[in-house]
Amino acid sequence: MHLLLIVLILAPAIIAESRPTVFIRLEPAITESECQMITQALIDQLKLHEGVEKHPYIDTVGKTTIGVGRNLTDRGISTATIEQMLIEDIELVQSELDKHFPDWCKLTEKRQMVLIDMCFNMGLPKLIKFTKFWKAVKDAKFPEASKQMLDSKWAKQVGQRAQTLSKMMTEG
């Protein structure tokens, strides 16, 4: 049986939380095959034979592989898997921001999006080094924070992305 990824995002107002809540569930997908067999025994067998790898590697025939024998070279990944990975990565970034800057959720939605986008792009260890930027954000001096964003090696590397995020930071 193939599984279909269902993603449901509830707005904060509906569930009285500061951030949207994401619910993910797998449901049987419609498939043309009449012979379907996904059992725990089969899953365990494939994991045993293929191994479980969290990082891509080159298999014995030169194919880039990940997970339980997923041939990325020939099969790639599905749109649903891409969306699931993106949601997981956003949640990880939000958790990192919670630890570094607990008040980030008190910012406007646009400014929250800027912080998530920057952290997503460069990672928290590099973003933390933007000390003048963080001071400006903490002091609610958003034009200064915007200026600090643009006065960086990162801004030169990402081009228009930095311009867009800088404007969002200023306008809030």
Give residue 141's pLDDT: 98
Structure tokens at 172: 């809030």
Structure tokens at 52: 């479980």
Kindly list the averaged pLDDT for each block of 10 residues, start to end, along the chain of length 172. 48 48 56 78 95 96 96 96 97 96 96 98 97 97 98 97 98 96
Structural domains present in the chain: 1-38 (no CATH), 78-172 (1.10.530.40)
Burial class (CB in 10 A: 0-12, 13-18, 19+), 85: exposed
Measuring CA to CA, which residue among 84, 83, 46 is closest to residue 65?
46
Backbone angles phi, psi at 52, to 5 degrees: -125, 115
Alpha-carbon gap, residue 130 to 124, rounded angstroms: 10
Measuring CA to CA, which residue among 138, 88, 148, 140 is closest to residue 118?
148
